[in-house]
């Protein structure tokens, strides 16, 4: 559906004509009523995400799996030989498996979709003659919008008024060089990339400013067209999930090979083919960890949800994994470590700290060379207005008396802002920048040549107190400025940031501050938030010093420095690269357009949700809803927790699966009767994977998680310690099941009763081991992770299901089980306790060994826990 009034060439006709055609006065914008009416008519300005396959198709897709094919075949074969009950059970398992897969997939997908919508997007629009900020989804064709550097173009537009605007259209055209825009029409045949008079939804304004009329919204935009074409469902995949998927494929192949061999052996020994067939299918189904990729996706999705509750919105899933391995966080100062609530607390004139009354001219300059209004604008500039008010001046009157005729806006590159008010101009900005342009300074006794030494002294004193210092100068156009004085402002540290910095330091994560502010201020704030113990302990490098550094020393110097001051955005990229060359996993914050390359390059690019630009948010892996450093720390904590829980799940599920397969395999190899028959294996597989295994995804974060060093970036998922544990527990499971089975038979119980005991023992040991998995390498009762409702619920449900299996007659018929007595349950209890004790003892022994090895080799090795 095209939602434009006339979908024809907007690019080849003059902008005024387009405005007329769209029924809007470019000076007034649409009226609110008209905009509402158009919103009704054209719908919201949102590209509906390609919906992907429908639910039915997604459900059917769950059956598309070699393993399921084999199961279905097994069911058919079983039925053909008259085993209708078994066939029915197998059919039930197949359906249940699909439903579980479907529910899991939908859950993970929904969680992620909801999050991607949370990244805010707004547009500045002219309505009823006034500029206002509205959610971009409410834009309609005909709206007049303003675009500035850093904004994402919110809809397709025809530019009407352009000041040096450049737009990065790579999202649309693939062209990486930004395009210079103008309001002029181009030839009718021009392709999208050449239509300089138009700008398109989803592209980024990298420079300048423009005003434009919206020509198309939502699905009618060029971007909408493309998205409909691509229409790919987002895949929930990360390097880790891919690695795991590959692992489970390889494992499956190996298991199938073993199953085929077992089949041949059994048939050779004279077991009937159909019976043997069902047995090896049970072996394969039991042993293959089908649920692994889905479970991993769930663990990651839960991590994403938990992070969002802590103020960190993850934009792409791999970031969840990477976050836990972060070794360095490079953070902004203003607004992230500090509150960005500025108050002017000191003034200096002629090299001396003075009272506000003596700094009157400075205050006037602060009012005029200023874009803010009380309560609205840049906090630095608001502080200047408030300081003038506090000193008894009237900002409104001052501004009315000297209307502004020209502006050179503030940019973080030159750290200065200039305004001209007819015959007089003002300059404000970083002290070095302003002072470098002044030959004279104003003093209480009139103008005299600038005393640079005195200025430097007082500047150092003020920055040493952690104050942000701005210099002010006045000039008559055409001649050199005269320095008027300094205003110094206080920006209190965020209390949460102080705690978060401390947590990061104890977690072995290096926190570095990167700021545009002065070295002295940065040093003092670094000490105030606990980045270093005292201001003098901070190693500081300025942007200028960075450029001077010889290449050979660069990486070492960067790694050893805590504070980078007066740094330009371009240098942030150099810093990220240097740290990555040293093997670090780097999280880097940024808010401006120029920060985008560094954010993209960083392992975790972190953008600000409140004060950042769209450009930064788009380049980032994570967006902080509150701009707070503490949210980064919380996200790292969650990232570590996610990785822990993944390891816990894997450590639990692999022995469970292998044990299930081995019970069958061992019986075949020994030529013994099966202690657990195929449908029973399927039962165990289905119930425990869901009700026991998945509880690990909800495990609470371990208490000491931020007290240990980051995991080495290259550490593999499957360590030797994990493999040892898998082998140990698989053996425990098999031995316990066989022992119970044999003992019960020997005690004179029927086959069905003995098998029921074996199943219950098997599940009991699985549950005991699950408890053990709650802490991977420390005895769980010593390193008690706290109560977990999910764990209790899972174990409770599993116990309930086993009781049903044992005592409900229908279940007895379907699953060939029989009610058992107290002794049988004592077996379950005993086996569970013994297995638990063995695994815990194993942990203790290996923890000792690992610790001893760690002391001799300088680092801890062999421990199972993911670091
Ligand atoms: P961070 O990167 O930690 O956010 P920051 O916000 O202090 O650092 P910038 O905003 O780039 O960095 O400011 C750098 C310097 O530019 C400040 O120290 C100040 O001297 C000057 N400055 C900041 N805001 C203005 C402004 N509105 N007008 C003039 N100069 C300014």
Question: What's the CA-to-centroid distance between 517 and ligand 1, angstroms?
Answer: 6
User: Which pLDDT tens digit goes with each residue over 13-65?
Assistant: 888 888 888 899 988 999 999 999 999 988 888 766 545 567 787 788 777 77
Within this chain, do residues 484 and 496 fall inside the same structural domain, yes or no? no
- Check residue 231 and give its pLDDT: 39
- Smallest CA-to-CA distance from 349 within 364, 370, 332, 371 is with 364
Helices 678-691 and 751-773: crossing angle in degrees, nearest 10, is 20
Q: Is residue 77 part of a domain?
A: no
CA distance 750 to 738: 15
Question: What's the CA-to-centroid distance between 205 and ligand 1, angstroms?
Answer: 22
- Residue 612 Cβ inside 6 Å of ligand 1? The answer reads no
- The better pLDDT of the pair 785, 460 is held by 460
Q: Is residue 78 part of a domain?
A: no
Mutational test site, ligand 1, from 372, 426, 470, 493, max ligand atoms within 8 Å of CB: 470
Within this chain, do residues 331 and 364 fall inside the same structural domain, yes or no? no
Within this chain, do residues 736 and 828 fall inside the same structural domain, yes or no? yes
Q: Is residue 15 part of a domain?
A: yes
Q: Per residue in 521-536, is it b (16+ CB within 10 Å) or e — as a string?
A: bbbbbbbbbbbbeebe
Domain boundary, last residue among 568, 599, 627: 627
CA distance 562 to 505: 12
- The answer to whether the CB of 805 falls within 8 A of the CB of 811 is yes
Q: Examine the residue annotation and report whether 626 is marked as an active-site residue of this protein.
A: no
User: Which pLDDT tens digit goes with each residue over 623-678?
Assistant: 888 889 999 999 999 999 988 898 899 899 999 999 999 998 998 888 888 899 88
The residues that bridge with 348 in the sheet, in sequence order, are 353, 486
Mean pLDDT of 211-227: 81
pTM of this prediction? Answer: 0.75
Within this chain, do residues 528 and 663 fall inside the same structural domain, yes or no? no
- Check residue 48 and give its pLDDT: 60
Kindly name the residue from 86, 151, 156, 332 that is annotated as catalytic.
Answer: 332
Q: Which string of DSSP letters, residue by residue, matches 465-493?
A: TT-EEEEEEEE-TTS--EEEEEEEEE-PB
Burial class of residue 55 in the structure, from the number of CB atoms within 10 Å of its CB (0-12 exposed, 13-18 middle, 19+ buried): exposed
- Residue 440, domain CATH: 3.40.1110.10
- Check residue 863 and give its pLDDT: 41
- Residue 380 Cβ inside 6 Å of ligand 1? The answer reads yes
Within this chain, do residues 478 and 500 fall inside the same structural domain, yes or no? no
- Check residue 387 and give its pLDDT: 95
- Residue 817, domain CATH: 1.20.1110.10
Q: Is residue 67 part of a domain?
A: no
- Residue 633 Cβ inside 6 Å of ligand 1? The answer reads no
Which tokens hold the place of 613?
A: 């630009």
Q: Would you say residue 430 has pLDDT above 90? A: yes
pLDDT band at 791 (very low <50, low <70, confident <90, very high): very high
pLDDT band at 783 (very low <50, low <70, confident <90, very high): confident
Within this chain, do residues 281 and 174 fall inside the same structural domain, yes or no? no
Domain boundary, last residue among 627, 662, 684: 627
- Residue 610, domain CATH: 3.40.50.1000
- Smallest CA-to-CA distance from 199 within 171, 227, 233, 230 is with 171
- The answer to whether the CB of 666 falls within 8 A of the CB of 737 is no
User: Which pLDDT tens digit goes with each residue over 495-552?
Assistant: 999 999 999 999 999 999 999 999 999 999 999 999 999 888 899 999 999 999 999 9
Q: Is residue 174 part of a domain?
A: yes
- Residue 517 Cβ inside 6 Å of ligand 1? The answer reads yes
- Check residue 107 and give its pLDDT: 66
- Residue 158, domain CATH: 2.70.150.10
Q: Would you say residue 557 has pLDDT above 80? A: yes
Within this chain, do residues 43 and 20 fall inside the same structural domain, yes or no? yes
Query: In this structure, what are the phi and psi dihedrals at residue 838, rounded to the nearest 5 degrees?
Result: -65, -45
Within this chain, do residues 763 and 829 fall inside the same structural domain, yes or no? yes
Note down the domain range covering 496: 312-337+492-627
Within this chain, do residues 513 and 582 fall inside the same structural domain, yes or no? yes
Within this chain, do residues 263 and 185 fall inside the same structural domain, yes or no? no
Into how many domains does the chain fold? 4
Q: Is residue 86 part of a domain?
A: no
Q: Is residue 375 part of a domain?
A: yes
Domain boundary, last residue among 213, 231, 249: 231
Within this chain, do residues 836 and 697 fall inside the same structural domain, yes or no? yes
Q: Is residue 55 part of a domain?
A: no
**Nearest C-alpha to atom 30 of ligand 1 is from which residue?**
429
- Check residue 859 and give its pLDDT: 39
Within this chain, do residues 688 and 803 fall inside the same structural domain, yes or no? yes
- The better pLDDT of the pair 696, 713 is held by 696
pLDDT band at 256 (very low <50, low <70, confident <90, very high): confident
DSSP conformation class of 808: -
Question: What's the CA-to-centroid distance between 625 and ligand 1, angstroms?
Answer: 22
């Amino acid at each position: 559906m095209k939602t434009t009034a006339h979908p024809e060439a907007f690019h080849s006709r003059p902008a005024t004509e387009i405005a007329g055609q769209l029924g809007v006065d470019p000076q007034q914008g649409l009226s609110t009523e008209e905009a509402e009416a158009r919103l009704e008519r054209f719908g919201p300005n949102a590209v509906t995400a390609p919906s992907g396959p429908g639910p039915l198709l997604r459900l059917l897709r769950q059956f598309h799996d070699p393993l399921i094919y084999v199961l279905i075949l097994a069911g058919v074969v079983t039925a053909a030989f008259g085993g209708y009950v078994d066939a029915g059970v197998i059919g039930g398992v197949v359906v249940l498996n699909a439903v579980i897969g479907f529910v899991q997939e939908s859950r993970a997908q929904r969680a992620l979709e909801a999050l991607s919508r949370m990244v805010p997007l707004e547009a500045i629009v002219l309505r009823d003659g006034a500029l206002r900020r509205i959610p971009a989804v409410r834009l309609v064709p005909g709206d007049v919008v303003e675009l500035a550097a850093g904004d994402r173009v919110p809809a397709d537009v025809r530019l009407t008024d352009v000041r040096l605007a450049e737009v990065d259209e790579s999202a649309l055209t693939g062209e990486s060089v930004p395009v210079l825009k103008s309001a002029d029409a181009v030839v009718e045949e021009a392709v999208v990339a050449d239509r300089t008079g138009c700008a398109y939804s989803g592209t980024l304004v990298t420079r300048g400013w423009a005003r434009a009329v919206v020509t198309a919204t939502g699905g009618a935009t060029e971007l909408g067209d493309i998205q409909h074409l691509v229409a790919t469902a987002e895949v929930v995949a990360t390097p880790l999930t891919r690695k795991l998927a590959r692992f489970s494929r390889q494992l499956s192949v190996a298991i199938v090979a073993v199953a085929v061999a077992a089949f041949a052996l059994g048939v050779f020994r004279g077991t009937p083919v159909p019976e043997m067939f069902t047995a090896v299918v049970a072996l394969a189904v039991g042993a293959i960890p089908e649920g692994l990729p889905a479970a991993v996706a769930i663990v990651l999705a839960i991590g994403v949800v938990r992070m969002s509750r802590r103020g960190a919105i993850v934009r792409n899933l791999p970031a969840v994994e990477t976050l836990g391995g972060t070794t360095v966080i490079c953070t902004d100062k203003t607004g992230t470590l500090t509150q960005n609530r500025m108050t002017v607390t000191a003034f200096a004139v002629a090299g001396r700290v003075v009272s506000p009354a003596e700094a009157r001219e400075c205050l006037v300059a602060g009012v005029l060379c200023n874009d803010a209004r009380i309560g609205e604008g840049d906090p630095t500039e608001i502080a200047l207005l408030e300081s003038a008010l506090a000193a008894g001046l009237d900002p409104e009157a001052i501004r009315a008396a000297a209307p502004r005729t020209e502006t050179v806006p503030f940019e973080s590159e030159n750290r200065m802002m200039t305004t001209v008010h007819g015959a007089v101009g003002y300059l404000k900005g970083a002290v070095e920048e302003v002072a470098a342009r002044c030959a004279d300074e104003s003093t209480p006794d009139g103008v005299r040549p600038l005393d640079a030494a005195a200025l430097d002294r007082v500047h150092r004193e003020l920055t040493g107190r952690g104050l942000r210092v701005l210099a002010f100068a006045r000039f008559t156009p055409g001649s050199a400025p005269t320095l008027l004085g300094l205003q110094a402002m206080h920006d209190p540290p965020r209390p949460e940031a102080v705690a978060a910095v401390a947590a990061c330091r104890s977690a072995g994560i290096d926190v570095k501050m990167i700021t545009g502010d002065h070295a002295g201020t940065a040093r003092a704030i670094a000490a105030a938030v606990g980045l270093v113990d005292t201001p003098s302990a901070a190693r500081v490098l300025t942007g200028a010093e960075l450029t001077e550094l010889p290449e050979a020393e660069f990486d070492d110097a960067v790694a050893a420095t805590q504070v980078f001051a007066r740094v330009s955005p371009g240098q942030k990229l150099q810093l990220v690269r240097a740290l990555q060359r040293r093997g670090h996993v780097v999280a880097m914050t940024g808010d401006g357009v120029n920060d985008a390359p560094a954010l993209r390059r960083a392992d975790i690019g972190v953008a600000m949700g409140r004060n950042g630009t769209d450009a930064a948010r788009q380049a980032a892996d994570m967006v902080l809803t509150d701009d707070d450093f503490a949210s980064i720390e919380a996200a790292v904590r969650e990232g570590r927790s996610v990785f822990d829980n993944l390891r816990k799940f894997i450590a639990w599920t692999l022995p469970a699966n292998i044990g299930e397969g081995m019970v069958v395999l061992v019986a075949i190899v020994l030529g013994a009767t099966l202690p657990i028959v195929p449908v029973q294996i399927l039962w165990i597989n289905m119930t425990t994977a869901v009700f026991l295994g998945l509880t690990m995804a909800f495990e609470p974060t371990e208490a000491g998680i931020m007290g240990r060093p980051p995991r080495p970036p290259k550490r593999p998922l499957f360590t030797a310690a994990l493999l040892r544990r898998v082998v140990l527990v698989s053996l425990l499971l098999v031995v316990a099941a066989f022992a119970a089975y044999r003992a019960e038979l020997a005690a004179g119980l029927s086959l069905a009763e003995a098998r029921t005991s074996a199943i219950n023992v098997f599940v009991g040991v699985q549950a005991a081991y699950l408890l053990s998995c709650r802490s991977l390498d420390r005895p769980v009762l010593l390193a008690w992770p706290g109560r977990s409702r999910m764990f209790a619920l899972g174990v409770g449900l599993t116990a309930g299901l086993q009781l049903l299996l044992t005592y409900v007659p229908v279940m007895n018929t379907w699953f060939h089980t029989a009610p058992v007595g107290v002794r049988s349950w004592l077996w379950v209890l005993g086996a569970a306790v013994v297995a638990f004790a063995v695994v815990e003892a194993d942990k203790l022994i290996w923890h000792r060994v690992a610790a001893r090895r760690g002391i001799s080799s300088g680092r801890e090795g062999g421990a199972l826990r993911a670091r």
